[in-house]
Amino acid sequence: MADPASNKNGTARLADLKAKAGYVPVIRRNGFVYAFLSLLVLYAIFLLPAKGSPETLDLGRIILFCLLLLVWAILIFTDELKPEKMKTVIVFTIFIIAAWLYYRYSTARWGEMGFLFFNLEMIQKAWPTLVEGFWTTLLLAVCAAIMSTIIGLLLAIFRSFENRVLNFFIIAYVDFFRAMPIIVLMMLIYYALPFMGIRLSAIVSGILALGLNSSAYVSEIFRAGFLSVKKGQIEAANALGLNPIQTMRYVILPQAFRVVIPPLVGNYVASAKDTALASSISIIELLKAGLSQKSLLANPSPLIFVTALYLIMFVPLTRFSGYLEKRMKASQRQVRL
C-alpha cells in the first residue's frame, strides 16, 4: 500500500480519515448482512395475503415490511464506499416493489381508474362551475394581495416612526393576525360580525380575512426591508434637504423594494394557496367548485382536475419566488465583495 499521507486519491484519503475517526466499514460491506435482510424482505412479501383473498393488508405487516426496507436502505445509504449509481438503482427498485405491492393487494378498483379519476366527460360537465371557481380564486388572491400590500406598507411606514404608542398597536395587530388561523378569522367575520350589525358578503369576508392575515406578514417584510437600508443613506438624504416623505420615496423605498420583492412574492403565493380556505364560508372558489361537482356527478374527476390546476398555477409561482430569492442572495454577495 502507498503511504496514505502522500496519496492524493480522494477515496483513499476519505478512508484514511474514517480509520482515524474509528469508522469500521467491515460489517456494512458484509454481503451476509444484505443477503439476510433481503431474505427477510422476501419473507415479509410472502407473508402477505394472496391476491383475491378476503384478507386485506393489515397494519402490522405493512409496518414490519416498511421497517425492514428502512433498515436495509439506511445500511446501504450510509455506506459511503458504495457508488451513487448503485444506491439510485436500489431506491428505484424499492419504489417499484412498493408500488407493485400496493397495486396487487390494495382494494382499489384499478380497472375503473380512468373512469373514476380522469373522466373527461365529467370534467366537461363540471367545466362551467370550475371556471367560475377559478375566477373566484383569482379574485380572492388578487384582492387580498392588494389589500395586504397597502395595509402592510402603511404599517411598516408608521412603525418606522418609532413612536411607542403607535408601535404598541402595530405590534398587537401583527401578533393578532399572525396568530389567528385564517379559517377562524373567516368564520368570525362571516358568521359572528353580523351579530354586531356588520353584514358582509361571503366574498368580502374571505378577502378581508386573507388580506388581514397577509398584511401582518407583509408589514414585517417591509419593516425588514426598511431596516436593511443603512442609516447613512437616510442621513445623506436629510443632509441634502429632502423631507421625510421625499426621503421615503426616493431613497428608502427603492432600496427596500429590492430586498422585499422575493419574500413578498413568496407571501403572495402562500396567501393565494390559502384562498382554498374560503370554501369554508360557502364561497364557491376552485376547491369548492371541484368538491360540489364531485358530489353532484358522484365522480372524483373534477377534484383531480382542480388538484392539477393548483399544481399548474403554483409550481411555477413557487419556482419563481425561489428564483428571486436566490438571485437576491447572489446580488447581495456581489455587493459585499
Partner 1 sequence: MNDAETMIEVVDLHKHFKDLHVLRGISTTVKQSEVVAVMGPSGSGKSTFLRCLNRLEEPSSGHIYIEGVDILAPYIDINRVRTEIGMVFQSFNLFPHLTAIENIKLAPMSVRKLSDKEAVDRGMALLEKVDLAEKADTYPEQLSGGQQQRVAIARALAMQPQIMFFDEPTSALDPEMIGEVLDVMRNMAKEGMTMMVVSHEMGFIKEAADRILFLVDGEVVEDGTPDHIFNRTTHERTLEFLSKII
Q: Would you count residue 255 as binding partner 1 (CB under 8 A)?
A: yes
Nearer to partner 1, 30 or 246 (CB): 246
Could you tell me the smallest distance in angstroms from the CB atom of residue 333 to partner 1? Answer: 12
| Contact between residue 79 and residue 30 where contact means Cβ atoms under 8 Å apart | no
254 forms part of the interface with partner 1 (CB under 8 A): yes
Of the candidate spans 107-115, 198-206, 228-236, 320-328, the one that interacts with partner 1 by CB under 8 A turns out to be 228-236
Cell of 102: 400496493
Kindly tell me which residue out of 196, 239, 298, 330 binds partner 1, with binding defined by CB under 8 A.
239
Q: Are 211 and 153 in contact (CB under 8 A)?
A: no
Q: Is 251 in the site for partner 1 (CB under 8 A)?
A: yes
Grid cell locating 331? 446580488
Please state the φ and ψ torsions of residue 217, each to the nearest 5 degrees. -70, -40
Nearest-angstrom CA–CA distance, 253 and 255: 5
174 phi, psi to nearest 5 deg: -65, -45
- Under rule CB under 8 A, residue 232 binds partner 1: yes
| CB nearer to partner 1: pick between 230 and 327 | 230
Q: Is 228 in the site for partner 1 (CB under 8 A)?
A: no
Question: Pattern 23-52, binding to partner 1, x per CB under 8 A?
Answer: ------------------------------
258 binds partner 1 (CB under 8 A): yes
Q: What is the closest distance, in whole angstroms, from the C-beta atom of residue 250 to partner 1 in the complex?
A: 6
Grid cell in block for residue 103? 397495486
CB of 213 to partner 1, least distance (A): 31
**Own/partner pairs for 307-314, CB < 8 Å, 24+ apart?**
309/130, 309/134, 310/273, 310/276, 310/286, 313/272, 314/269, 314/272, 314/273
Residue 163 touching partner 1 (CB under 8 A): no
Residues across the chain: 337
User: In the numeric block, which cell numbers belong to residue 86?
Assistant: 448503485
Is 297 a residue that touches partner 1 (CB under 8 A)? Answer: no
Contact positions vs partner 1 (CB under 8 A): 230, 232-233, 235-243, 246, 250-251, 254-255, 258, 335
